[in-house]
Structure 1
């Protein structure tokens, strides 16, 4: 595979001049080359060396008459050494690289970092993927795409959290309304049906628990609080009934008098113990939900390489139990029993071994409970077992895309791995944290059946996109609306840095003028359309005009910068850098499109402009692959 960075020769040429200047000035080190914001394109600062600015000017005066291959000029401004680019030479390198690499242009050998396991989405298998899962899934998928574009080996994993009482509520509820659920699933996605069953069962369980508590409470104030809580859960049932009346009525009738809290705990104990009947009941529901979640991911162009079941890797293998026993054996001074539950004093361990910087930990670390009083493991314990399994695979780094809400839990995972003697494995484990998505006016609570399903967002995006596309191209609106919607949603989740919250607003998501997936898709269609009409165009051996437009100069340099953007993005693991770059490129290209005729230009200007349009199209296509934005040829 080729590996071309059109800006590399010019940078090397300037670095040699900076080294010469340092030697001429008697400096023992060479200043770093920076991207200039004021003078030319490159710059190097000599400020900290306390040299006379006149001597730097004398150095640049001495360069007059020297032939520079990729630099147009070298100048001194105070203690800055600056250089501009010979844009014609850069254009030649850009067109050659694009011709050789096509949509692979942007790849360089510096992008290859190794082998990666990327775990993402990993949503609870009890309801549909919601808008928050959308950011996780799209971010994780684009990280994998970015790494793959750069020639790295990547495997994506989905951690199926099939243990815990919430999954048991879904299984108990489904078993109670199996016939009704089966009929409903023939018309509605299975994850939607199970999600309603889970939320309704959870509400019935909470109402039953609160009623039992009410019967034992004498204090009037507390009784009023409990009655208010019961009313809230009754409201949850009424809301779910609007969509699934028959199912809710059957659940209330079948489960109303039972202690579902105790039943769920017992089913969870049996499931963790590997009881065949419990396994059948739980897996049936889990796999129904995963079927629906797979369909949603497929709409977004996301494929998962491996589905890792928590029960198989962490529980039935005995790994979670062994971890607890090993911690008790190795570090009895940091393990406590609290009411029968096993607690690891991670706070004391980190303090004693000074692990904050070693494991990149948050400043506050609380103790962590490893098992319940009945001996069943908690999520964090099972997650340690899974992390250990992940790090034992043939990967140089494990990236776990998990929200910032789990910052402490993910820190606990690394701390426990370290305490178990897996220091290097703990360092290879990366919590790729991201902030939540806010939809103005919407409240989220999966337990109460309140969430904005990702399918709903995609449906509305397609519907709104159809309205936009009809204005431009009514005959193909129905065909491409879904792809425009997907591109818009993906870009909306990727254009903001992962550590910043997202305010999801439709007027921004579908902005056709800038900073949106639909804007980028429309830009690509413009470039594609020009090239499609340029029959018989020869883009090889293009002559660079002596005079070019400012937009042409900017486009040449933008396209030349693409490999550097990709390299920076992959080293920082930041797909948003790609999104930001593509938006900037599209803005310049659209300005150029309005000012410069391409097809009607005379040769050799016509071929030059066609080559420039082709370069922009290839960069957009490469960026679309990384961001997962569908490529369109009509819009």
Structure 2
């Protein structure tokens, strides 16, 4: 149900005849253009004489077309416009038949997908950077589902590693005090403070031991400055949950926390019951809080995959190492007891850059520490192998560009293990970071802007903004406006571009924001609610330029969805909806709908309904809440 398919096919037939007339071996591709016409085709690469091309096109100008008009030649471009009245009829027919599924076409479906996203460390709340990951991953899944694909979303619970052990040790030290906070504080926020305090205590202890061994005065001054930095972290944390943080300092201050964390990690990887109890309790507390945050954004995860179960206790990570040693001993080195894979040499010898879409620089990768415990990348290879065995055509891993080399290592090692097809089916969906002007972030130091804080402020600012127009706005509406604004802010920029998060842009009521789109939808909904009945009528003559633009914009929607799905770019949807809303709001201010005379009234109602339908479909893909009043 693509309204532009019939005119495009008709133009393709014209091009096919032209190609035969000119003796070309292929038919030029149809392109969407705004320079000379609606559709265009370039003949440059065929070295056609422009005069001969113009003569060949001249023959078609007297022909009557079903959907085309204004066939012309500009140099080596053949251009054509479309009959807006005919396309309008196709649009209204498709919208009536498809409803909110308008935009779907067989061309946008591409198989089955496992989408792994968010996968934040279970040691603190989701922060603003995780927000971009979660929203991107969720909208990718929504886009692919809209196109009729089988999609399953996964969250990789990284419950191994020394950092998780810091959280577990700190939590165990103040378990009783944490229980008293359960009713008034989100568990992920509390654990996040515990983790940062425990980490600070561990660093202070480590630095004091270094200070005792240092003999050089300059080295001592350097260590003392670092100790001061970590003590400042503790003082700042004490301004929050003073009772808990002071207890952590009191109970852990004389212990070798860093050494205990390494030992607890070793025991946890071995699956010892006591270690499992301590670690899992704190991990699941954090996940509970993270689930609540995701729910505010309308995000549901299908499967929660624990790293310990899939990669460690199963023995898969250890098998990855032993199999690499068996297959490629010439690329595996032992450095002080640690196992290192020379991925750099392997890629060079097998020329894998283009095969696996790798960055130009590939470093060696350490697979195990000297104590035999595995590193994150080793466990990630085991997880990737598990993912590719779940029966999906593609595995999309939404992971920041900071992990470009690590994700490249995953694909290289899969290839080296003989899983060449799996290596090609794993897609690293990279995205850049979010910058919040004036904010410095470090989870280890407890410095981050939590996603809940962003959503709270978005709701508060939305309430103030919307109340200027509607004093009776509710908290629920403000929350939904805030969610829509935040989601759109993270989706309106291409994933490979950094985002500077500014509230004046995020809540802009005039353009390029979720708030602007929601406000546009409310306008369309209000018109149709008052009309009650939406009739069907042919497109009348003498329509306004904005009506022509709206018809063609709505007609483009299936091709936008198709290209977004093929390119895995939800930002194409965001950009399109913003353009549609700009045209519609200009039209809203200029053309009366309900007071228009028939048949114009019925036509305009059908046009408003088409715009509303596209907005509904786009809101589903972007995860923007639908509001009927603001």
TM-score by length of 1: 0.98
Q: CA deviation digits over 1:311-332, x for unaligned, max 9?
A: 0000000111111111111111
**Would you say 1:577 and 2:572 are equivalent positions?**
yes
Q: How many angstroms apart in 1 are the aligned matches of 2:590 and 2:546?
A: 9
Aligned to 1:588: 583
Aligned to 1:489: 486
**Would you say 1:283 and 2:280 are equivalent positions?**
yes
Residue in structure 2 matching 1:443, options 428, 440, 445 = 440
Q: How many angstroms apart in 1 are the aligned matches of 2:40 and 2:271?
A: 66
Aligned to 1:265: 262
Task: Give the secondary-structure state (helix, strand or coil) at the position aligned to 1:81.
Answer: strand
**Would you say 1:632 and 2:604 are equivalent positions?**
no
Q: CA deviation digits over 1:243-275, x for unaligned, max 9?
A: 111111111110010001110001000000000
Change (3 A) 1:583 1:190: same
Q: CA deviation digits over 1:460-492, x for unaligned, max 9?
A: 000000001101111124230000000000000
Aligned to 1:562: 557
**Would you say 1:422 and 2:424 are equivalent positions?**
no
Contact residue 94 and residue 560 of structure 1 kept, 8 A: yes
**Would you say 1:358 and 2:355 are equivalent positions?**
yes
Q: How many angstroms apart in 2 are the aligned matches of 1:364 and 1:67?
A: 58
Q: CA deviation digits over 1:212-253, x for unaligned, max 9?
A: 110011111110000000000000001111011111111111
Residue in structure 2 matching 1:470, options 461, 467, 488 = 467
Residue 26 of structure 1 and its aligned partner are, at CA, apart by: 2.7
Aligned to 1:84: 81
Q: CA deviation digits over 1:562-590, x for unaligned, max 9?
A: 00000000000000000000000000000
Residue in structure 2 matching 1:388, options 382, 385, 390 = 385
Residue 64 of structure 1 and its aligned partner are, at CA, apart by: 3.9
Q: How many angstroms apart in 2 are the aligned matches of 1:374 and 1:470?
A: 61
Q: How many angstroms apart in 2 are the aligned matches of 1:46 and 1:309?
A: 55
Aligned to 2:154: 157
Q: Which moved more, 1:474-483 or 1:582-591?
A: 474-483
Residue in structure 2 matching 1:229, options 205, 226, 230 = 226
Aligned to 2:312: 315
Residue 28 of structure 1 and its aligned partner are, at CA, apart by: 2.9
The 5 Å alignment of 1:153-302 reads 153-302=150-299
Residue 72 of structure 1 and its aligned partner are, at CA, apart by: 1.8
Contact residue 391 and residue 429 of structure 1 kept, 8 A: yes
Q: CA deviation digits over 1:360-383, x for unaligned, max 9?
A: 110000000000000000000000
Q: How many angstroms apart in 1 are the aligned matches of 2:122 and 2:462?
A: 30
Q: CA deviation digits over 1:59-90, x for unaligned, max 9?
A: 33322442200002212223221111000000
Q: How many angstroms apart in 2 are the aligned matches of 1:65 and 1:337?
A: 78
Task: Give the secondary-structure state (helix, strand or coil) at the position aligned to 1:62.
Answer: helix
CA RMSD of aligned residues (A): 0.9
Task: Give the secondary-structure state (helix, strand or coil) at the position aligned to 1:144.
Answer: helix
Task: Give the secondary-structure state (helix, strand or coil) at the position aligned to 1:155.
Answer: strand
Aligned to 1:609: 604
Residue 43 of structure 1 and its aligned partner are, at CA, apart by: 1.3
Q: CA deviation digits over 1:507-552, x for unaligned, max 9?
A: 00000000000000000000000000003332x3x12111110000
Q: How many angstroms apart in 1 are the aligned matches of 2:352 and 2:44?
A: 38
Contact residue 105 and residue 562 of structure 2 kept, 8 A: yes
Residue 184 of structure 1 and its aligned partner are, at CA, apart by: 1.3
**Would you say 1:331 and 2:324 are equivalent positions?**
no
Contact residue 491 and residue 622 of structure 2 kept, 8 A: yes
Task: Give the secondary-structure state (helix, strand or coil) at the position aligned to 1:262.
Answer: helix
Q: How many angstroms apart in 1 are the aligned matches of 2:501 and 2:174?
A: 36
Aligned to 1:34: 31
The 5 Å alignment of 1:134-145 reads 134-145=131-142
Task: Give the secondary-structure state (helix, strand or coil) at the position aligned to 2:473.
Answer: helix
Q: How many angstroms apart in 2 are the aligned matches of 1:377 and 1:362?
A: 24
Contact residue 2 and residue 105 of structure 2 kept, 8 A: yes
Task: Give the secondary-structure state (helix, strand or coil) at the position aligned to 1:243.
Answer: coil
Contact residue 264 and residue 275 of structure 2 kept, 8 A: yes
Q: How many angstroms apart in 1 are the aligned matches of 2:179 and 2:349?
A: 56
**Would you say 1:524 and 2:521 are equivalent positions?**
yes
Contact residue 180 and residue 247 of structure 1 kept, 8 A: yes
Aligned length: 630
Residue 121 of structure 1 and its aligned partner are, at CA, apart by: 0.2
Q: How many angstroms apart in 1 are the aligned matches of 2:50 and 2:366?
A: 64
Contact residue 470 and residue 477 of structure 1 kept, 8 A: no
Residue in structure 1 matching 2:109, options 93, 97, 112 = 112
Contact residue 388 and residue 426 of structure 2 kept, 8 A: yes
Task: Give the secondary-structure state (helix, strand or coil) at the position aligned to 2:60.
Answer: coil
Q: Which moved more, 1:180-189 or 1:114-123?
A: 180-189
Contact residue 534 and residue 606 of structure 2 kept, 8 A: no
Change (3 A) 1:50 1:163: closer
Q: CA deviation digits over 1:443-470, x for unaligned, max 9?
A: 0000000000000000000000000110
Q: How many angstroms apart in 2 are the aligned matches of 1:26 and 1:339?
A: 70
- Return 5+ residue gaps in structure 2 as ranges: none
Q: How many angstroms apart in 2 are the aligned matches of 1:428 and 1:474?
A: 52
Q: How many angstroms apart in 1 are the aligned matches of 2:44 and 2:341?
A: 53
Residue 25 of structure 1 and its aligned partner are, at CA, apart by: 2.4
Residue in structure 1 matching 2:92, options 78, 92, 95 = 95
Aligned to 2:410: 413
TM-score by length of 2: 0.99
Contact residue 463 and residue 473 of structure 2 kept, 8 A: no
Contact residue 417 and residue 426 of structure 1 kept, 8 A: yes
